[in-house]
Structure 1
Amino acid sequence: MQSLKPLAAILLFAILTGCNLSMLPINVPNNISVINSKLAVPKPLSQEEAGQGLKEALKKGVAKGTEGLMKSGGFAQSLAYKILLPEEIRNLEQKIRGNVLLNAAIGKELDKTIDAMNAGAEKAMTKALPIFTNAITNMSFMDAMKILTGGQGAATQYLQNNTNTQLRQAFQPEIKSALESVAIYNHWTPIVNTVNKNKKLLGLTEDVNPNLELYVTDKAMSALFKEIEIQENAIRKDPINRTTELLQKVFKYADQY
């Protein structure tokens, strides 16, 4: 507004002195248009823009989130998401690893189990993107506005509520196939049965669930939604991640809440 002060002073002088504006050595119409542009109020966000912008952001986020997890090593080589043996088994695993004879007998089987769990989770991720895309496409305007103004994690929570059952149904066959490829239950079931029979000696209060498919599915789901939330919050927090004009407009509106 600093650049408009000389113009305002000239116009005020002209009005007070009765001077003909056409005699002034300025281009009044051009400068008036500058004033109007400076004072223009941004157009409100339309329903269509809100819906399209949010869906664009979500599709971008889920694509990036699933891409990293589905690649080879997406779980197995991840410090954050690598699937380890169930917590109840880890003390036993340490004892096995620390005993030369036990490690020689069972160690490789434990390695196969861990490798298969992570490979199954990585393969399962290929099923996630179409399910997410369908949920995003069918999102209503009211849902979009709630998510847009709902703050961090709102979109992730929406996707979790609307895709959880489908994702589980899609993930489990892939995980089961990966586990069966190494005949996992030939050695896993005897280990779990032994642990459950001796749980008091091992300091456990509940039986270990022998259903490894369910365990891996839970871990895969948890990792997936954590990654989706990271991508969502990156767009909300940092304007540099708003890579299109529509995203910039939509999330500038969301920043007010």
Structure 2
Amino acid sequence: MKKLILITLFSTLFIFSGCDTLNQYAGAINQTVGTPSSTEMSLGLKQALEFGTNYSAERLSAKDGYLGNLAVKILMPPEAQKVENTLRSIGLNSLCDNVITSLNRAAENAAIEAKPIFVNAIKQMSFQDVSNILLGQQDAATLYFKRTTSIALADKFRPIINNSLNKVGATRYWGDLTSRYNKIPLVKPINTDLAGYVTDKAIDGMFIEIAQEELKIRQNLAARSTSLLQKVFGYADRQK
């Protein structure tokens, strides 16, 4: 008899527990349906963009954030690739590797400075910007950031990168390399603005990372980590 009572009690608890779970699940689903208000759309999109830009800046600012990522790794300037090939052919691989490493370290040192610039751009978004990005093409947010932050990023990055290049000796190594090459008869002189080149490549890499984060939040349901993101981007999905 006691055994029967216990079985009945556990069965009842299981049923009620199951009902609670189902209710919670149904609630979660309800959060993703319906049309979000303009406030919810603004908050949801800005939340997603702040997550994505912060993560991108932090990842790229870590050691090997650029150097260890083939999608954004900064190589020798195109006009110097012939020089690099020549140096490597005579066994000076370490010299070339050191230059490339220093270029990427400089970009990594600057990357974290992008966070407040992106935050400011997000705060400045109008509702029309929010709507255009949310319902726009897959890289609409990335294009918005390119349009609104590129100048500020360059202004912020360049002095940091210039200082970093000097600190690690890259500017001197680069000067030695190009001056020797430019003395070769009949070659086209190399006049690369190294700090400018690294700044441009660092910013390009930042936007590549942001584009990946944007695509993730648009396509990967698991990346929508809050109920607000689920509702807002669920709505965007249904508008396609």
Distance apart, 1:140 and its partner CA? 1.1
C-alpha offsets along residues 213-238 of structure 1, whole Å, 9 cap, x if unaligned? 01101111111001101000111112
Q: 1:112: how far off?
A: 3.1
Structure 1 unaligned segments of length 5 or more: list them.
1-41
Residue 230 of structure 2 is aligned to residue 239 of structure 1: no
Alignment pair present for 1:227 and 2:218: no
1:214 counterpart = 2:205 = no
* Higher RCO (CA 8 Å, separation ≥ 6 residues): 2
**Aligned positions of 1:176-187 closer than 5 A:** 176-187=162-173
Please tell me the residue identity of whatever aligns with 1:210: T
- Structure 1 position 130 matched with structure 2 position 112: no
Question: Which of 100, 115, 125 is equivalent to 1:139?
Answer: 125
Give me the CA root mean square deviation.
Answer: 2.0
Aligned to 2:21: none
Aligned to 1:166: 152
TM-score, normalised by the number of residues in structure 1 = 0.74
1:113 offset after TM fit, Å?
2.1
Partner of 2:46: 55
Give the 3 Å change call, closer, same or farther, for CA 234–191 of structure 1 in structure 2. Answer: same
Structure 2 matches for 1:73-84, cutoff 5 A? Answer: 73-84=64-75
Matches within 5 A, 1:1-257: 43-100=34-91, 103=92, 108-196=94-182, 201=187, 208-255=190-237, 256-257=239-240
- Displacement of 1:64: 1.7
**Alignment check: 8 A CA contact 2:99 2:173 kept:** no
The two structures have a TM-score, normalised by structure 2, of: 0.79
Say which SS state the counterpart of residue 139 (structure 1) adopts. Answer: coil
Q: Distance in 2 between matches of 1:69 and 1:192?
A: 28
Identity rate of aligned residues, in percent?
Answer: 39
Q: What displacement does 1:200 show? A: 5.3
Aligned to 1:7: none
2:234 and 2:185 mapped to 1: Cα distance? 55
In structure 2, C-alpha distance between the alignment counterparts of 1:215 and 1:176, rounded to whole Å: 11
| Aligned residues of 1:121 and 1:175 also touching (Cα < 8 A) | yes
Query: Unpaired runs of 5+ in structure 2?
Result: 1-32
Whether the 8 Å CA contact 2:103–2:170 is kept in 1: the answer is no
Give SS of 1:44's match. coil
Contact 1:62 1:228 survives alignment (8 Å): yes
Computing the radius of gyration from Cα coordinates, the structure with the larger value is 1
Cα deviation digits, residues 96-138 of structure 1 (max 9, x gap): 12214xx2xxx55433322221111001101001110111122
Report Cα offsets for 1:2-60 as digits up to 9, x if no partner: xxxxxxxxxxxxxxxxxxxxxxxxxxxxxxxxxxxxxxxx5432110010000011011
Counterpart Cα distance in 1 of 2:35 and 2:73: 45
Deviation at 1:179, TM superposition (A): 0.7
